[in-house]
Amino acid sequence: MTQERLASSAHATGPLAGRVIVLGITGSIAAYKAAGLASTLTQMGAEVHVILTEAATRFVTPLTFQALTHRPVHTDLWAPDPATGVPHIELAERAEVLVVAPATAATIARLAQGLAEDFLTCVALATQAPLVVAPAMDGGMFEHPATQANLAVLRSRGALVVEPEVGHLASGLTGRGRLAAEERIIAAIRQVLGRRGPLAGVRVVVTAGGTREPIDPVRFIGNRSSGKMGYALAEAARDRGAEVTLITAPTALPAPEGVHVVQVERAREMQRAVIEACANADVLLMAAAVADYRPAEEAPQKIKKTGQELTIRLVENPDILKELPRGRLKVKAGFAAESEDLLANAARKLEAKDLDLIVANDITAPDSGFGTDTNTVTLLFRDGRQVPLPNLPKREVAERILDAVQELLQR
Ligand code: C5P
């Protein structure tokens, strides 16, 4: 069996390749979870510099993080530096983001007060990099007005606070204070790193999921859309600095951090939300699977079995994309999920719906289409250009679609 050595940061690959992340870990029992976070960030290509507070070293060791990040770990402000530099200032200058996870009540208070007491708080004062704080503590300590006031101070200075979750706490109690899940912290880091990205200042509306058209209070006509493609687009646009509104039909996916989420159910609700959001947007990415038909009447009570045939009359829904006036939208993009004549059908829709871009998706291809984590699509442009993409994870497909959107915005 061969093993590939982890790329050194000089030629790191991955979505965070070469990004300099300073990860401050403080004295909460959740410090053990920071090992997973440091490892994932390193695997995503980031250059991760770990600082442990004195209290954190009671829970986890510097060696753990040195082994995971392949870098020395900072614990002591007074440690002699072999390079005779001033390490906390050098790190403060190099940092692209300072992440404190887990953040205890005490460290949050120090950060809010601007106390420079140890390596981490000195870096926090010296750096210009944005701050991401993921609190973890007992529920009572988190809810305490002092902690909340300190967090409000940090937010007012531009820090992004990744709210802790409700659940079992190490004390045995249940409350709000569990460190946010790793994916949420990483989403916050990616969002902050993207603040000055290529879509900074661009307002993007994304639709996702499959609409539900009620038959009665219990049943509906739905479809197989999982929402994964739309959510991936919303997250990728956010991480390029866009201001994102995600209009979503019901899905099993968690709401993305840092995105304005509008929940809808029926096609006509989605249409209202799209019209409202697009009045003020630059880009519309219509990834939702919208029901073409809805029951003509919604039964007020649950329909009972009668032993007879049941006929439900359907009427056509509005075509949201087609009816939407272009207004101030600079890019209007749609999706075409097809099971036959993919490119011809997609090209026809691009024309009929007055689109700049359509993403043609062969739902019969393996590992593509509804519910899967990957997709095989072709991008079709108004000028007739067709760009086939290989089978890629949906987040990667989203990145390629946004490359195309950026190109269209530059025209
Ligand atoms: O015509 P078709 O449903 O295949 O078109 C797909 C594209 O049109 C998708 O972008 C979809 O979100 C959008 N659409 C819409 N309103 C509908 C049906 C589809 O906006 N009623």
Given a contact cutoff of 8 angstroms between Cβ atoms, the answer to whether 303 and 216 are in contact is yes
Establish whether 361 is a catalytic residue: no
Residue 63: CA atoms inside 13 Å, Cβ hemisphere, count? 1
State percent of the chain over pLDDT 70.
Answer: 96
Atom of ligand 1 at shortest range from CA of 318: 21
d(CA 316, CA 312): 13
pTM for the predicted model, two decimal places? 0.90
Given a contact cutoff of 8 angstroms between Cβ atoms, the answer to whether 74 and 121 are in contact is no
Mean pLDDT of 326-343: 94
Mean pLDDT of 196-201: 95
Neighbours of 152 (CB within 10 A): 12
Q: What is the pLDDT of residues 82-131, one digit of tens each?
A: 676 778 888 999 999 999 999 999 999 999 999 999 999 999 999 999 99
Which pLDDT score, from 0 to 100, does residue 76 have? 85
Q: Which 3 state secondary structure label does DSSP give 5?
A: coil
CB-based pocket (< 6 A), ligand 1: 267, 286, 288, 290, 292, 317, 319-321, 334-336, 349
Q: Kindly give the distance from the C-alpha atom of residue 262 to the centroid of ligand 1, in angstroms, as a whole number.
A: 19
Which pLDDT score, from 0 to 100, does residue 3 have? 59
Q: Kindly give the distance from the C-alpha atom of residue 322 to the centroid of ligand 1, in angstroms, as a whole number.
A: 8
Which pLDDT score, from 0 to 100, does residue 1 have? 44
d(CA 395, CA 388): 16
- Binned at pLDDT 50, 70 and 90, residue 364 comes out as confident
Q: What is the pLDDT of residues 277-300, one digit of tens each?
A: 999 999 999 999 999 999 999 999
Asked if the model's pLDDT at residue 330 lies above 80, the reply is: yes
Q: What is the pLDDT of residues 272-283, one digit of tens each?
A: 999 999 999 999
Q: Which 3 state secondary structure label does DSSP give 208?
A: strand
Ligand 1 pocket test: which of 233, 266, 319, 323 has the largest number of ligand atoms within 8 Å of its C-beta? Answer: 319
Asked if the model's pLDDT at residue 9 lies above 80, the reply is: no
Neighbours of 349 (CB within 10 A): 20
Which pLDDT score, from 0 to 100, does residue 7 have? 46
d(CA 29, CA 137): 8
Q: Kindly give the distance from the C-alpha atom of residue 42 to the centroid of ligand 1, in angstroms, as a whole number.
A: 40
- Binned at pLDDT 50, 70 and 90, residue 11 comes out as low
Which pLDDT score, from 0 to 100, does residue 12 have? 81
Given a contact cutoff of 8 angstroms between Cβ atoms, the answer to whether 224 and 262 are in contact is no
